[in-house]
Amino acid sequence: MTTMKTKMMKANGMSKTSAPSIVCEFFPEPKLLFAEGFQHIDPKLGILSSGPRSYVPRRQHPESVRVGIIGSAETIAATRVWMEQGAKGFDGNESHARFPGFMSDRGYRSNLVFDSTWEAQLVQREIDLVLSIKGQRDRFEALLALLEDKLRLLSEKDRQPEYITIAIPEQLYKACRAIDYHDKVLGRVHRDLRRAIKVIAMKFRIPTQILRQQTAENETGDVISKIYWNYFTGLYFKAGGLPWSPVGLAPGTCYIGISFFRPFSASKSKMQTSLAQAFDEHGDGLVLRGYEFEWDAEKEGSPSPHLTEQDSFRLIELILNRYTEVMGQTPQRVIVHKSSRYWDAERRGFTTALQNKVSKYALMALTTQSTFRLMTTNKYPPIRGTSFRIGDLDYLYTTGFIQELGEFHGVHVPAPIQIADHIGQDTAREALLREILVLTKMNWNSAHLGGSLPITLRFSQLVGDIMREVPTEMDPLANFKFYM
């Protein structure tokens, strides 16, 4: 880690003598762990060199994956050909790595198993019936009911598939992909087909993935090897495998992300629901729906919801109890990432609950921002892993130029995330920032080197949208793979 001090002038003409002191630090790109203990910073190069983490030594490695497909006769055939083509491997180009495949002797070292008994066809009569429905809400719900019937059919097989690809015909997908309508009780409602499908699939405990017809026919215009990397990385994880593990996270630590979403029932009210995602030091995660509470943004003077001391205490207790139950271990250390600043009542509630349960903890607030950036003296953007501090605020570049590879994977000018409200003195500030950088690499739904936010908060919006679809009387599944 390199440290330096410098001076920076604000754009509003602040004099040199009043310019703030900026402390800059650099954290090298974190490495990941693959089969046989091989380490590399890039998920793709690690898989190419050694194979997935759970392959050797054997830990959760699926030797094969039984694949189900739901679609029309045409999309089922195209999907199977597309997946079998990808399983053999696919060449890349100068900018994108070759995809090594998904077979026992290559790539993810696992085999796809297909069988006509794991195919549920949407016959033309069913497709035409859905498309003939004029009202967009009725059409949307008719398609969901049809897909639920097909999922139920596959789940009731004596030997059910372990993973289901939903290959909706393009015309049907475009007619139902998203809807907006007004409900007399709920008010204005927005629904997304992908999110709604995730919820109905939870009933049958089978992970799913929507595959667009244009993707199966290689008509997206995107690089095919890149698509295969993302698709099969997600498939391997959903089938129970670990594509890679982080290096540098403290053993016995539980990393928690806390955010909020508005349930359907709150469209005309002021209700909010807390949402938590918790991960261990290996990257295994779970999702929890917290408690509903009322939030009046105008009265409270903040659009961002905040918890009372009692609700904060209850939420941490719920998370840690469920984490211990699902993960089979009680954490020794807890790091909490929240999507908004902590109010005093939240601090008291969180810290009291944590002090009752664990020996070490830290609270941090993480947000994206574009107000503060570093300017470089060359043509390259700031290096990913660069951080700077202004007062009690930290800024960390989780996107940017990747020094170790000599590459920039973005298309926009990168901006650092802001880290505030460091509460707790059990872990050095630098160690917490380094852990955030590691956690940006734990998205098993793609093979990207890293994301802008750590996995604790990366999917908070997506998971919140899915949770909106979960009825209050239904217990959402805890395993993270059902939300990806």
Contacts of 106 (CB under 8 A, 6+ apart): 89, 100
Does any domain span residue 166? yes
Please provide the DSSP assignment of 421-446 as one string: EEE-SSS-HHHHHHHHHHHTT--TTS
Task: Give the integer Cα–Cα distance in Å for 298 and 290.
Answer: 23
Say whether both 215 and 359 belong to one domain: no
86 and 77 Cβ atoms separated by less than 8 Å: no
434 and 60 Cβ atoms separated by less than 8 Å: no
Indicate if the pLDDT at residue 140 is higher than 70.
yes
Task: Give the integer Cα–Cα distance in Å for 445 and 202.
Answer: 18
Say whether both 227 and 281 belong to one domain: no
Does any domain span residue 9? no
pLDDT value, residue 266? 55
Q: Mean pLDDT lowest for which of 112-121, 244-253, 293-302?
A: 293-302
The domain of 137 spans: 62-238
Please provide the DSSP assignment of 148-212 as one string: HHHHHHHHTSSS--SEEEEE--HHHHHHHSEEEEEETTTEEEEEEHHHHHHHHHHTTT--EEE--
Q: Mean pLDDT lowest for which of 157-166, 282-291, 432-441?
A: 282-291
CA angle 375, 378, 379 (to 5 degrees): 95
pLDDT value, residue 284? 87
342 and 362 Cβ atoms separated by less than 8 Å: no
Q: How many residues does the chain have?
A: 484
Domain boundary among 218, 238, 258: 238
Q: What's the rounded mean pLDDT across residues 9-14? A: 38
Domain boundary among 238, 260, 282: 238
Q: What's the rounded mean pLDDT across residues 329-339? A: 93
Say whether both 226 and 276 belong to one domain: no
- Provide the sign of the torsion angle of the four alpha carbons 12, 17, 18, 23, taken in this order: positive
Say whether both 234 and 281 belong to one domain: no
263 and 273 Cβ atoms separated by less than 8 Å: yes
pLDDT value, residue 9? 37
Q: What is the CATH number of the domain that holds 191?
A: 3.40.50.2300
Does any domain span residue 243? no
Domain boundary among 186, 217, 238: 238
* pLDDT top residue among 471 and 437: 437
90 and 99 Cβ atoms separated by less than 8 Å: yes
Say whether both 282 and 412 belong to one domain: yes
pLDDT value, residue 194? 95
Say whether both 281 and 188 belong to one domain: no
Say whether both 25 and 72 belong to one domain: no
Say whether both 293 and 195 belong to one domain: no
pLDDT value, residue 380? 87
Does any domain span residue 1? no
Q: What is the CATH number of the domain that holds 281?
A: 3.30.420.10
- Number of domains the chain is built from: 2
pLDDT value, residue 22? 83
Indicate if the pLDDT at residue 373 is higher than 70.
yes
pLDDT value, residue 23? 83
Q: Are strands 64-71 and 111-113 parallel, antiparallel or unpaired?
A: parallel
pLDDT value, residue 185? 75
In the chain, % of residues over pLDDT 70: 95
Does any domain span residue 372? yes
Q: How far apart are the first and last CA of the chain?
A: 34
pLDDT value, residue 378? 87
Per-residue pLDDT band for 412 (boundaries 50, 70, 90) equals: confident
Q: What is the four-CA torsion angle of 341, 344, 347, 351, rounded to 10 degrees?
A: 170
Q: What's the rounded mean pLDDT across residues 20-40? A: 92
Indicate if the pLDDT at residue 14 is higher than 70.
no
What are the phi and psi torsion angles at 3 (to 5°)? -125, 140
Per-residue pLDDT band for 269 (boundaries 50, 70, 90) equals: low
Indicate if the pLDDT at residue 67 is higher than 80.
yes
Strand ranges (E), 347-406: 360-368, 386-390, 393-396, 401-402
210 and 166 Cβ atoms separated by less than 8 Å: yes
CA-closest candidate to residue 110, choices 120, 119, 100, 118: 100
Say whether both 376 and 345 belong to one domain: yes
Say whether both 347 and 405 belong to one domain: yes
pLDDT value, residue 18? 58
397 alpha-carbon distance from chain centroid:
19
Average pLDDT, the chain: 91
Say whether both 25 and 131 belong to one domain: no
Predicted structure pTM score: 0.92
Q: Which tokens go with 327? A: 């993960």
Say whether both 226 and 265 belong to one domain: no
